[in-house]
């Protein structure tokens, strides 16, 4: 049975100064990392001596309570006991944007902003699907049933900027109600009508307002809150405390809202129009090339809100010609997401991912892909890319057969009637009676490609690993099934480098042996291999730490560098998952030494036997340097 950590969690909360003293809580491999309002309120002596706590460390502005391998369970219990919302299991440097290259930054930022709302987002998507079914079976759009359920489902998506303002405020460390005020200004009900004549200016400066408004958009509000957070930070420094509570929001709103309308929004509008021009020219050059590119990039365009450059052109097609081929390549891409989700559901080991996949799958069938993209495939990265590849292939197929849509109708499954060739074909439209069959084939093609291409990828963990609990002790390591008793064992070096005694590691927890006996290596390159045969029991989401249990019972923790959790995965690449059986010498992870050093972090990497107390002793090598596979440790049973 899993151990109950309620009493320990209550003690921790009480002796760090109570829940009101906690600003933020995250955890890494072994530690609860608190950001406290006043560290002097924490009772260091009590916590250090408390059973279940290894020690307390103060470093980097954090109050670190070292727990050990079962820190995820204690972390979850502390959140419940304190009634607070944690920042997640990865302790990152909270700047204005995540670290890594631009693509990594965008994915980490967007998925992080959407994660808190995924449950409600998925539920709203399912309700939208239900509304589509009602319309398909003949329920009138003017009926109370349709109107109310449509509001319940579509309202969430219409006012998505308001919800994103809350999560973005938290991410950018801005006052939440000030951020809400910015979002309310962008989606103000009468603002679109005010700009309808196109002659509105602000102090002589022209205001370019998108015809689609800022409802349902993502990027404009994120950029607006980011800018607002910068302005807020500036005024907090110069405004006297006695009037700060209302003067700072006053200046933030006064300055940021005009900037949003004059700069942020117009830039997005200009980019959207440019996309429309580019894709129209590509279509004129080659419809097939157009179908490939639109199918591949449609989801990315939607994420940035740039698809609005094509939508008005398609609407114009329908209104003047009665048909259009412009957006056909984008209609069936939702089924690629559905196929990818089915594959992920069948292969993931995380219960939370399975739970999110089911409603996201249902929503995707009806053309609502936000829960799938932002909640699952985009954070996993490769599956999202595979859906883009599937989109390109089905886009080429539809364009090759000149598949035509005759109405701008439903989404997902309910888009099918839009492709039925009417009795009286509009002038200039394709008269191919197989038109709807082409679209049905594209649905099957997208779904199968989404499933098959995702099968070729690794399904990464989104929440740190499978949802399993310890069965015999206080660690998160899962025992190897064949293990019957502890045995003496020789542990090989997992890295190349200079040997460093554990007491010389620049971290109190490791140096004092609080995490167990072992040794450290100052690595010469960035490869880590399995020091013995066994089973992987821990792969931290950032990739900086891996745990395993050998066939003879030694529980090994390999921790690359010090405080490298702050890199949030930048420079790390893992090759194993929790539960994998590995052989001695099998590659576990790679890391970039330059990335760690550029961040001014120590690269010294401890190799610890975390269950040292179960052995008579742990002996270490006397060599000054080791290569991969050289003798490093001996556990004496």
Residues annotated as catalytic (active site), given as ranges: 28
CA-to-CA distance for 383 and 293, rounded, in angstroms? 18
At 301, give phi and psi (nearest 5°): -60, -40
- At residue 53, the 3 state secondary structure works out as coil
Locus of tokens 């405004």: 239
* 64, two tokens: 């670190």
CA-to-CA distance for 363 and 358, rounded, in angstroms? 9
CA-to-CA distance for 395 and 404, rounded, in angstroms? 12
CA-to-CA distance for 251 and 126, rounded, in angstroms? 40
- At residue 24, the 3 state secondary structure works out as strand
- At residue 51, the 3 state secondary structure works out as coil
End-to-end alpha-carbon separation of the chain, Å? 27
CA-to-CA distance for 116 and 121, rounded, in angstroms? 10
Q: Which secondary-structure segment (H or E) carries 352?
A: helix 351-365
How many other C-beta atoms can be found within 10 angstroms of the C-beta atom of residue 4?
Answer: 10
Residue spans of alpha helices (H) in 172-286: 176-186, 191-194, 219-238, 241-259, 265-285
Report CA Rg, the chain. Answer: 28
Q: Is 548 within 8 Å of 534 (Cβ atoms)?
A: yes
CA-to-CA distance for 147 and 142, rounded, in angstroms? 7
Q: Is 43 within 8 Å of 15 (Cβ atoms)?
A: yes
CA-to-CA distance for 518 and 499, rounded, in angstroms? 11
Q: Is 491 within 8 Å of 428 (Cβ atoms)?
A: no
Q: How many CA atoms lie within 13 A of 157 on its CB side?
A: 17
At 49, give phi and psi (nearest 5°): -90, -10
CA-to-CA distance for 58 and 263, rounded, in angstroms? 43
Please, what's the largest Cα pairwise distance for the chain? 89
Residues 6 or more apart whose Cβ sits within 8 Å of residue 197: none
- At residue 110, the 3 state secondary structure works out as helix
Residues 6 or more apart whose Cβ sits within 8 Å of residue 405: 323, 324, 325, 327, 328, 331, 415, 418, 419
Measured in whole angstroms, how far is the alpha carbon of residue 405 from the centre of its chain?
35
Sign of CA dihedral 620, 621, 626, 629: negative
At 25, give phi and psi (nearest 5°): -140, 125
Q: How many CA atoms lie within 13 A of 244 on its CB side?
A: 12
At 518, give phi and psi (nearest 5°): 170, -155
Indicate the Cα dihedral angle 61, 100, 216, 461, nearest 10°: -90
Locus of tokens 């609407």: 315
Sign of CA dihedral 619, 620, 622, 627: positive
CA-to-CA distance for 282 and 501, rounded, in angstroms? 63
């Amino acid at each position: 049975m899993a151990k109950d950590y309620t009493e320990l969690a209550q003690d921790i909360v009480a002796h760090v100064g109570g829940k009101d003293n906690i600003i933020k809580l995250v955890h890494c491999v072994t530690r609860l990392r608190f950001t406290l309002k006043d560290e002097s309120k924490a009772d260091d002596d009590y916590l250090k001596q408390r059973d279940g706590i290894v020690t307390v460390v103060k470093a980097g502005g954090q109050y670190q309570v070292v727990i050990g391998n079962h820190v995820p369970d204690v972390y979850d219990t502390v959140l419940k006991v304190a009634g607070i919302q944690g920042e997640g299991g990865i302790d990152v440097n909270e700047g204005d944007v995540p670290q890594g290259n631009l693509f990594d930054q965008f994915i980490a930022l967007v998925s992080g902003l959407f994660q808190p709302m995924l449950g409600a987002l998925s539920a709203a998507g399912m309700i939208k699907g239900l509304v589509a079914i009602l319309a398909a079976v003949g329920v009138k759009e003017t009926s109370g049933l349709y109107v109310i359920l449509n509001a319940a489902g579509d309202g969430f998506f219409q006012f998505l900027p308001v919800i994103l303002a809350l999560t973005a405020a938290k991410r950018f460390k801005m006052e939440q109600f000030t951020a809400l005020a910015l979002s309310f200004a962008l989606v103000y009900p009468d603002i679109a009508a005010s700009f309808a004549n196109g002659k509105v200016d602000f102090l002589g400066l022209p205001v370019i307002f998108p015809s689609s408004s800022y409802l349902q958009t993502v990027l404009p509000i994120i950029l607006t809150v980011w800018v607002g957070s910068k302005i807020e930070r500036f005024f907090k420094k110069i405004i006297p405390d006695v009037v700060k509570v209302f003067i700072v929001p006053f200046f933030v709103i006064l300055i940021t809202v005009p900037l949003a309308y004059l700069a942020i929004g117009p830039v997005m509008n200009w980019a959207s129009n440019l996309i429309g021009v580019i894709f129209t020219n590509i279509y004129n050059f080659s419809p097939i090339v157009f179908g490939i590119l639109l199918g591949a990039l449609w989801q990315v365009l939607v994420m940035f809100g740039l698809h609005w450059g094509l939508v008005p052109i398609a609407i114009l097609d329908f209104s003047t010609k009665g048909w259009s081929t412009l957006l056909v390549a984008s209609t069936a891409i939702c089924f690629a997401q559905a196929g990818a989700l089915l594959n992920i559901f069948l292969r993931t080991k995380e219960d939370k991912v399975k739970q999110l996949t089911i409603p996201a799958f249902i929503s995707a069938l009806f053309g609502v892909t936000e829960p799938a993209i932002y909640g699952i495939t985009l954070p996993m990265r490769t599956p999202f890319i595979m859906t883009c590849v599937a989109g390109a292939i089905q886009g080429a197929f539809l364009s090759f057969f000149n598949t035509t849509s005759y109405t701008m109708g439903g989404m997902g499954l309910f888009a099918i009637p839009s492709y039925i060739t009417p009795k009286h074909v509009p002038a200039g439209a394709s008269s191919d009676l197989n038109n709807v069959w082409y679209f049905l084939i594209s649905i099957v093609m997208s779904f199968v490609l989404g499933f098959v291409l995702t099968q070729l990828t690794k399904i990464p963990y989104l929440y740190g690993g499978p949802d399993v609990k310890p069965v015999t002790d206080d660690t998160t390591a899962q025992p190897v099934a064949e293990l019957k008793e502890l045995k003496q064992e020789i542990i090989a070096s997992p890295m190349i480098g200079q040997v460093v005694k554990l007491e010389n590691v620049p971290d109190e927890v490791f140096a004092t042996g609080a995490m167990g006996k072992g040794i450290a290596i100052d690595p010469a390159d960035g490869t880590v291999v399995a020091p013995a045969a066994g089973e992987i029991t821990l792969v931290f989401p950032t990739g900086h730490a891996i745990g395993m249990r050998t066939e003879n019972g030694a529980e090994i923790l390999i921790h690359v560098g010090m405080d490298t959790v702050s890199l949030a995965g930048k420079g790390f690449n893992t090759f194993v998952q929790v539960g994998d059986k590995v052989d001695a010498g099998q590659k576990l992870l790679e890391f970039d030494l330059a990335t760690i050093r550029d961040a001014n972090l120590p690269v010294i990497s401890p190799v610890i036997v975390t269950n040292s107390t179960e052995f008579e002793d742990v002996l270490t090598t006397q060599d000054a340097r080791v290569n991969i596979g050289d003798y490093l440790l001996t556990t004496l049973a």
